[in-house]
Amino acid sequence: MPGDWGWLTYPSHGWDSINEMDEFFSPIHTYQVCNVMTPNQNNWLRTNWVQRDGARRVYAEIKFTLRDCNSMPGVLGTCKETFNLYYLESDRDLGTSTRESQFMKIDTIAADESFTNVDLGVRRLKLNTEVRGVGPLSKRGFYLAFQDIGACIAIVSVRVYYKKCPAMVRNLASFSEAVTGADSSSLVEVRGECVGHSEERDTPKMYCSAEGEWLVPIGKCVCSAGYEEQRDSCMACQLGFYKSDPGDQLCAKCPPHSHSESRAARVCRCDSSFYRAVQDPPSAACTRPPSAPVNLVSSVNGTSVTLEWGPPLDKGGRSDVVYNVQCRRCGADAGQCEACGGGIRFVPQQMSLVQGALTVTNLLAHTNYSFWVEAVNGVVAVRHESTGQNSVTLLWQEPDQPNGIILEYEIKYYEKDKEMQSYSTLKSKGTAATISGLKPATRYIFQVRARTSAGCGRFSQTVEVETGKPVSLRYDTMTIVWICLTLITGLVALLVVLICKKRHCGYSKAFQDSDEEKMHYQNGQGKREIPVAIKALKAGYTEKQRRDFLSEASIMAQFDHPNVIHLEGVVTRSKLVMIVTEYMENGSLDTFLRKHDGQFTIIQLVGMLRGIGAGMRYLSDLGYVHRDLAARNILVNSNLVCKVSDFGLSRILEDDPDAAYTTTVWWLSQAAPEAIAYRKFSSASDVWSYGIVMWEVLAYGERPYWNMTNRDTPFNRTLLDFSSCLTVEDWLDSIRLGHYRDNFAMAGYSSLGMVMSMNIEDVRSLGITMMGHQKKILSSIQAMRSQLLNTNGPRRHL
């Protein structure tokens, strides 16, 4: 039969659900059994169906107390000091249709310490904690079961959990959270995904151990070109910095005479009139062509001439300066010159001279010659003058020794690394050309060659140029106004057409409900999608649980306030009963504050409290008592607006201003003194809880009263008020043990004064064998004694 937690017990005279006080007078719920007088006990207690949620191995933490058999006379042959733990896997909730033979045994559990009569007399609770692993699991869910074979035991709590490795970023690889393996020695391999703007150097992997810890990182990711590592992420290089290749290196400052036009630059572009040679790496400074040589001197000797010159005053920032000499033979008219021809000899050579001296022999007598000495370096051949989003302008020099008159130049260009796929050519009559129609932000390779009457020469060295990045369009004010007017006109026309279709396009006299018409007008044929939060009732619920669940929705449906959670709807026709509310991005207030500890101003914190206070005043004006106001039940949206939620315990007050409702569920650290002492709640007790919420907010989610126990918490002395109990029957009813009235009456306990003198042996002599009931009676007697001793007013005759 189901207990208070919905657990099943078999047989009916075995396990019992008991609410009682612990050694600190705090209420606890337990399952107890103490059939030690009868041999061959076989009492079963089964939990609800627990969904596995992807776990392959789970752990059960059991807290329990067990009585020493030696402390009970006459039970040595039948009393046991152990119990058995079982589990059963299934793909669905089986309800009550489970059999003992279906369960698999996990372990036999014994207590590290057991209690005796002495412990009962001084209210000492010897709590044992045992953890057992359950697995491997493969089905959707499972049950836990406890088999009693004759022990006197009370199960105080059962916690079921599984271990997982948390999500993390390691070596620029993001690893999602991973559930541990099926056994204690297994390692689960998880492959990481490179974070944004990074790429694999070696495949990143890590292993999740059975203890939920990451082990053995393998491989890593590195930041892509244009990005550098910063705090487990790859950030774009700032303006003035670049990174040419993927790797661990940081962004470097642009070399001299270069700049980056945007963030995440892979190479720095050269400033105007500066260039970078083909063989220069991206880290090399941009340079420019040298100036002309100086102090050119000639010395004629017969049919030879010696030329000498000095180096250029400006070498362009490079050390690879060489000299080329051009020879022209001119007629009587100095304006008509032609190449000297092939019979002339240059010593040591005509091109790429390192020294500033040259001898030219085999010249013709009585002939005019002109010589030009040119200084060149690595950036002279072909260079780009300017770069646009879709175009590049190139400059180049004439060949040193063309094979005839140059008719035109041919420019060959293609996308980098795609020459074999396709390339394009462009013709130019001069030594400059602008190539257009290029793709934005793309690297292109350019080469130039000359064509004479004898044919085409060789292509020059390659020049690599990257086009500019696309620029977002910008419109002037009038253009924007015209675009907006056009869009508005189109939308109005479309809306008229839709409304016309809805109303069958005419002067229909058919009646239509105004709300329905409004809904059609608002939504048309489309759908309005908003993010929501869903609270679902777990499978296997009872009809009472369903009514209680829906009662919360019925309460929420009556509220309409910006600081109270808004109900979007209720789903009851599906198999899963759901409450749909507005979505609050930042979750519960206590968790949100702990996550952002110290990040808000006092004005922001007070603003949160004002919002909560406004919501609670609204509820109070409607006559509702929340009864569970705490930071954990306050939700926060993206705008830091706080809204009161969780109305599972809310009640409306009667017309009587003193009316209040009782409950058995509350948090002592949040509850008002009268709520603890008398189990009564009112709007005044909500005000007390609001003060505790103020504590939590200003302390960034810190637990009220720090780490103090419920016993030490101010005002939380949970002694019942027995002043209203006039008879033994009233007292038994107040502690919910009224079915023992006859036991007390037959034993002659006719007044509370006689009851207050009872001890454990007296209670047992009444035939009360349940340990939980014995403890509950003794706790209440002790509470009455304490109240009597602490009473300052006139004493009641007992």
Write out the catalytic residue numbers: 628
- Collect contacts of 487-490 with beta carbons under 8 A, ≥24 apart: none
- Residue pair 219/203 in contact by the 8 Å Cβ criterion: yes
3-class secondary structure, 204 = strand
Q: Which residues pair with 489 in a beta bridge?
A: none
**Quick check: helix, strand or coil at residue 431?**
coil
Q: Report the candidate in 197, 215, 206, 199 with the shortest Cα–Cα distance to residue 176.
A: 206
For the record, the structure tokens of 206 come out as 């890590």
Give the C-alpha distances (Å, rounded to integers) separating 588 from 435, 550, 640.
61, 22, 11
CB 705 within 8 A of CB 713: yes
With CA atoms as reference, report the closest residue to 311 among 303, 323, 297, 328.
323
Q: Integer distance in angstroms from the first to the last C-alpha of the chain?
A: 40
AA letter at 386 = S
Alpha-carbon distance of 501 to 359, in angstroms, equals 96
DSSP string, 677-738: HH-EE-HHHHHHHHHHHHHHHHTTSPPTTTT--TTTSTT-------TT--SHHHHHHHTT-G
Tally the C-alpha atoms within 13 A of residue 621's C-alpha that lie toward its C-beta.
10
Beta strand 141-148 pairing with 82-90: antiparallel
Q: Which amino acid is at 730?
A: D
The neighbour count for residue 783, using CB atoms within 10 Å, is 19
Which neighbouring-strand residues pair with 387? Answer: 392
In the three-class reduction of DSSP (H, G, I as helix; E, B as strand; rest coil), residue 613 is classed as helix
User: What Rg value do the Cα atoms of the chain yield, rounded?
Assistant: 45
- Residues 11/35, Cβ–Cβ less than 8 Å: no
Residues 6+ apart with CB under 8 A from 605: 697, 698
Please give the helix or strand (H or E) that residue 425 lies within, else none: strand 424-428
Q: Do residues 401 and 344 touch, judged by C-beta distance below 8 A?
A: no
Element (H, E) at 253: strand 252-253
Token output for 493: 């026309």
- According to DSSP, residue 790 is labeled H
